[in-house]
């Protein structure tokens, strides 16, 4: 087997001026496939089978019927609605609606059943599949089953709403059972995955974080889906980031089938596993921060062992080659070419964790006393757009932290700065959303929680978007 991955290293500048001050340097690292790598459609024979566990919220709020804004307004005008809370989620109830009208207002759990149907239909015969449902309690709806048994799997879907598991939400209990089903289905060469869906706040956050830490250690990516506006993104996003999964916001239940299908396809398109980058900066260089920038923006956990930093990049999905941005503080030096850092990229064989490949690279940087040479350097546009996107991500997060800390003025200022940078990037629609959030915060002293969620998820996607043509 020949190496099929290679890292591409890009600095914001390859030449630094000789000064008495330390300087900030951006290092972007992109992992790319060579020409002998599998095709980007993910349908290669080398792709290993999947061992997928779904962890699904079936609490009372998932049984709420979903109406369009127009339908809701018409029913409210007729006095047919009564507002209530179900599992902590605002909802409406009425006993005067016709069966025909009800049939046109499906429940969230109906869309969830549709999503499961799509996943089962797209399972490969060698895949393994399990479903855990939870509310106040959790149980295994579908134990680990071969993807070849589609008829049997489909026959179970009608049982999705038949269980009385309590009124509360305990995601951690579902995660615990999912770990059991993954363990039962585990085998050498299988891609283990977990997918969590919830529409509410859980009562066992610490348990969820503990299970996420265990998943990271066991190399099990967990993707999370927050449905609607009443869930804790401060839990769902970190679980995904920590384990190497993806975090989704679904504002509409009808989007569930597409996202479930996308996650299964991503799992079925894994061709390289257990990617890890080790970076040893030269003496005097300080690593200030590291961020994942592809497929979405997120904080990248770093392990420092004696000055050698390790970044776990998880499994690589074909078509979603990972990339990261590292912020380095470099010391002043005399004119010469120096080694900025030494790196090693390692990964495992697609069908076995026993065979490991690696690529070693030395990353140079030059110090020059010639102002003309330094001034002639043009920062790479691709890297600088990433820096801009990361700046927006940071400003949005800091604005939320300032607001939580009671600094409304500071939060407003940071939101407006984020909006300005979005305009510079050509992201006019997103900039308008951020500007509206800043205006509401200044006027009312409050932030719309649904808009805050939406912006949190959207700013994570900025590095996926091509530059706007202006």
pLDDT band of residue 161 (cuts 50, 70, 90) is confident
Q: What is the reported pLDDT for 39? A: 45
Residues near 138 by beta carbon (within 8 Å), at least 6 away in sequence: 132, 165, 170, 173, 174, 176, 177
Would the pLDDT of 70 be above 60? yes
pLDDT band of residue 41 (cuts 50, 70, 90) is very low
pLDDT band of residue 381 (cuts 50, 70, 90) is very high
Judge if 5-43+270-373 and 50-64+106-268 fold alike in CATH terms: no
How does pLDDT run across 322-377, given as a tens digit for each residue? 999 999 999 999 999 999 999 999 998 766 656 688 999 999 999 999 999 999 99
Over pLDDT 90: what percentage of the chain? 77
- HEC string of the chain? CCCCEEEEEEECCCEEECCCCCEEEEEEEEEEECCCCCCCCCCCCCCCCEEEEEEEECCHHHHCECCCHHHHHHHHHCCCCEEEEECCEEEEECCCCCHHHHHCCCEHHHHHHHHHHHHHHCCCCCCEEEEEEECCCEEEEEEEEECCCHHHHHHCHHHCCCCCCCCCCCHHHHHHHHHHHHHHHCCCCCEEEEEEEECCCCCCHHHHHHHHHHHHHCCCCEEEEEECCCCCHHHHHHHHHHHCCCEEEECCHHHHHHHHHHHHHHHHCEEEEEEEEEEEECCCCEEEEEEEEECCCEECCCEEECCEEEEEEEEEECCCCCEEEEEEEECCCCCEEEEEEEEEEEEECCCCCCCEEEEEEEEEEEEECCHHHHHCCCCCHHHHHHHHHHHHHHHHHHHHHHHHCCCHHHHHHHHHHHHHHHHHCCCHHHHHHHHHHHHHHHHHCCCCHHHHHHHHHHHCCHHHCCCCCC
Q: What is the reported pLDDT for 44? A: 44
Least confident of 78-92, 322-336, 441-455: 78-92
Q: Which CATH class is domain 5-43+270-373?
A: mainly beta
b/e code 129-145 from CB counts within 10 Å (16+ = b): bbbbbbbbebebbbebb
What is the architecture of the domain spanning 50-64+106-268? 3-Layer(aba) Sandwich (3.40)
Q: What is the reported pLDDT for 294? A: 94
How does pLDDT run across 393-404, given as a tens digit for each residue? 999 999 999 999
Would the pLDDT of 129 be above 50? yes
Q: Which of 69-83, 295-309, 327-341 has the highest mean pLDDT?
A: 327-341
Would the pLDDT of 2 be above 80? no
CB burial of residue 354 (10 Å; 0-12, 13-18, 19+): exposed
CA 393 to chain centre: 14
pLDDT band of residue 199 (cuts 50, 70, 90) is very high
Least confident of 20-24, 68-72, 250-254, 299-303: 68-72
Query: Position of tokens 């998932």?
Result: 62
Instruction: Determine the Cα–Cα distance for residues 173 and 194; give it in Å rounded to an integer.
Output: 14
How does pLDDT run across 256-275, given as a tens digit for each residue? 999 999 999 999 999 899 99
What residue segments make up the domains of the chain, in order of their start? Answer: 5-43+270-373, 50-64+106-268, 69-103, 381-464
Query: Which has the higher per-residue pLDDT, 2 or 138?
Result: 138
The reply to whether the predicted model has a pTM over 0.85 is: yes
Would the pLDDT of 43 be above 90? no
């Amino acid at each position: 087997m020949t190496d099929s991955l290679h890292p591409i290293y890009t600095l914001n500048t390859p030449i630094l001026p000789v000064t008495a001050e330390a300087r900030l340097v951006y290092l972007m690292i992109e992992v790319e496939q060579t020409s002998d790598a599998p095709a980007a459609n993910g349908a290669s024979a080398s792709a290993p089978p999947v061992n997928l566990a779904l962890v699904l919220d079936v609490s009372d709020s998932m049984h709420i019927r979903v109406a369009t804004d127009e339908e809701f307004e018409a029913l409210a005008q007729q006095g047919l609605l009564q507002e209530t809370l179900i599992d902590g989620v605002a909802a409406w109830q009425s006993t005067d609606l016709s069966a025909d009208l009800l049939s046109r207002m499906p429940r969230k759990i109906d869309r969830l059943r549709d999503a499961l149907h799509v996943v089962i239909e797209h399972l490969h015969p060698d895949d393994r599949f399990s479903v855990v449902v939870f509310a106040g309690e959790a149980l295994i709806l579908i134990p680990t089953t071969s993807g070849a048994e589609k008829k049997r799997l489909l026959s179970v879907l009608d049982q999705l709403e038949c269980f009385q598991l309590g009124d509360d939400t305990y995601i951690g209990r579902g995660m615990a059972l999912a770990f059991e089903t993954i363990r039962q289905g585990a085998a050498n060469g299988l891609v283990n995955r977990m997918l969590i869906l919830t529409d509410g706040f859980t009562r066992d956050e610490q348990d969820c974080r503990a299970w996420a830490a265990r998943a990271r250690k066991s190399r099990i990516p967990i993707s999370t889906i927050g449905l609607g506006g009443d869930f804790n993104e401060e839990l769902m996003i970190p679980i995904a980031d920590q384990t190497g999964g993806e975090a989704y916001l679904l504002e509409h239940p009808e989007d569930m089938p597409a996202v479930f299908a996308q996650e299964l396809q991503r799992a079925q398109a894994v061709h390289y596993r257990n990617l890890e980058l080790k970076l040893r900066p030269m003496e005097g260089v300080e690593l200030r921060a590291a961020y994942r920038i592809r497929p979405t923006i997120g904080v990248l956990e770093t392990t420092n062992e004696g000055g050698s930093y390790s970044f776990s990049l998880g499994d690589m999905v074909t078509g979603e080659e990972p990339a990261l941005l590292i912020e380095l503080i470099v010391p002043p030096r005399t004119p010469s070419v120096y080694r900025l850092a030494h790196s090693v990229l390692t990964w495992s064989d697609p069908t076995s964790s026993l065979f490991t490949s690696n690529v070693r690279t030395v990353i140079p940087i030059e110090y020059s006393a010639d102002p003309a040479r330094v001034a002639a350097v043009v920062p790479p546009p691709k890297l600088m757009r990433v820096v801009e996107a990361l700046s927006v991500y940071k400003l949005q997060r800091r604005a939320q932290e300032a607001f939580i800390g009671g600094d409304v003025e500071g939060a407003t200022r940071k939101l407006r700065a984020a909006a300005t940078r979005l305009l510079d990037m050509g992201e006019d629609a997103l900039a308008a959303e951020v500007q509206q959030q800043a205006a509401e915060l200044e006027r009312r002293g409050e932030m719309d929680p649904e808009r805050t969620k939406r912006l949190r998820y959207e700013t994570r996607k900025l590095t996926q978007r091509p530059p706007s043509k202006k």
